[in-house]
């Protein structure tokens, strides 16, 4: 399978080479995954449930360890041929990545403001006053400037997800990764999250988005990667992979998806 080639040379932010992962029950989840993402690009990852998409994001963000392969972030290796870097290096590399989960993962006992400021203070060492100023700016950007004192339980799912995005952005990552950011939302709330991601794409924020929103992946992503059974079946420009797929498995998935 050919790797994604961009039209012009840009800085490589994420490089994944021959990554493999087997769960403890012996299930081979990632069989031999390779791709790269360059600065300012948006990569959409699509595929059926159980294809390994979320596991792949978890390997990139160090929430799951890969068994073999190489993962490089901003020119530094997290893991090389299955051997991980030391903890100090891993922590430094991890600061380049922001992950937005499908189920928000906000601290329920923290206010919205504290959810966004806490990591800035304890991870980046940002003074509290400065961290709160950043949080308030991001809340305004998300249209949530009046929710700073609220708690997650007082917000809609769409509002909670926007707080999650603000929290990730507050740490100033080089790349944002989204794990099905709309899957826990009612359809009427999905649009507001996709609008936020589109605005970030327009600003050339480097992103990897695992999604079931095919039109969004086609229109907003620069490139798309279709996974099934732990392998990359097809990858290339989004308009080609989603609009004019070449592989029969990709065609079948998109037909079935369109039928729902």
- pLDDT band at residue 2 under the 50/70/90 scheme: very low
Residue 112 has pLDDT above 50, yes or no: yes
- Which of the pair, 151 or 184, is modelled with greater confidence? 151
pLDDT at 188: 77
- In this prediction, residues 198-222 reach a mean pLDDT of 93
pLDDT at 187: 80
Count of residues in the chain: 260
pLDDT at 9: 46
- In this prediction, residues 116-120 reach a mean pLDDT of 95
Residue 88 has pLDDT above 60, yes or no: yes
Two structure tokens written together for 24: 């403890």
- pLDDT band at residue 190 under the 50/70/90 scheme: confident
pLDDT digits (tens, 9 = 90+) for 9-36: 458 999 999 999 999 888 899 999 999 9
Q: What is the mean pLDDT of the chain?
A: 91
Q: How much is the pTM?
A: 0.91
Residue 191 has pLDDT above 90, yes or no: no
Q: With beta carbons less than 8 A apart as the criterion, state whether 45 and 30 touch.
A: no
- In this prediction, residues 83-99 reach a mean pLDDT of 95
- pLDDT band at residue 185 under the 50/70/90 scheme: confident
- pLDDT band at residue 184 under the 50/70/90 scheme: confident
What is the rounded CA–CA span in Å between residue 55 and residue 126?
31
- pLDDT band at residue 258 under the 50/70/90 scheme: low
Residue 3 has pLDDT above 70, yes or no: no
Residue 8 has pLDDT above 70, yes or no: no
pLDDT digits (tens, 9 = 90+) for 23-74: 988 889 999 999 999 999 999 999 998 899 999 999 999 999 999 999 999 9
The three state secondary structure string of the chain is CCCCCCCCCCCEEEEEEEEEEECCCCCEEEEEEEEEEECCCEEEEECCCCCCHHHHHHHHCCCCCCCEEEEEECCEEEEECCEECCHHHHHHHHCCEEEECCCCCCCCCCCHHHHHHHHHHHHHCCCHHHHHHHHHHHHHHCCCCCCCCCCHHHCCHHHHHHHHHHHHHHCCCCEEEEECCCCCCCHHHHHHHHHHHHHHHHCCCEEEEECCCHHHHHHHCCEEEEEECCEEEEEEEHHHHHHCCCCHHHHHHHHHHHHC
Residue 5 has pLDDT above 50, yes or no: no
What is the rounded CA–CA span in Å between residue 207 and residue 211?
12
């Amino acid at each position: 399978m050919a790797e994604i080639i961009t039209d012009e040379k840009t800085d490589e932010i994420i490089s994944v080479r021959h990554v493999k992962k087997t769960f403890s029950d012996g299930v081979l989840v990632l069989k031999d995954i390779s791709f790269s993402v360059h600065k300012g690009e948006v990569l959409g990852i699509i595929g059926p449930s159980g294809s390994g998409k979320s596991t792949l994001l978890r390997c990139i963000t160090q929430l799951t360890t890969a068994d073999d392969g190489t993962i490089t972030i901003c020119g530094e290796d997290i893991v090389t041929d299955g051997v991980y870097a030391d903890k100090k290096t891993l922590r430094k590399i991890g600061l380049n990545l922001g992950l937005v989960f499908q189920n928000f993962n906000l601290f329920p006992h923290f206010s919205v403001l504290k959810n966004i400021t806490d990591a800035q203070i304890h991870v980046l060492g940002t003074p509290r006053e400065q961290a709160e100023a950043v949080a308030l700016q991001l809340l305004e950007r998300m249209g949530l400037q009046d929710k700073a004192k609220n708690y997650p339980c007082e917000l809609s799912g769409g509002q909670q997800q926007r707080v999650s995005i603000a929290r990730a952005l507050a740490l100033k990552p080089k790349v944002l990764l989204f794990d099905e950011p709309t899957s826990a939302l009612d359809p009427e709330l999905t649009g507001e999250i996709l609008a936020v991601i589109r605005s970030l794409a327009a600003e050339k924020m480097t992103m990897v988005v695992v999604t079931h929103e095919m039109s969004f992946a086609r229109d907003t992503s620069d490139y798309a990667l279709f996974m099934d059974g732990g392998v990359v079946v097809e990858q290339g420009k989004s308009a080609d992979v989603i609009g004019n797929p070449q592989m029969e498995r990709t065609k079948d998935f998109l037909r079935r998806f369109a039928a729902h």
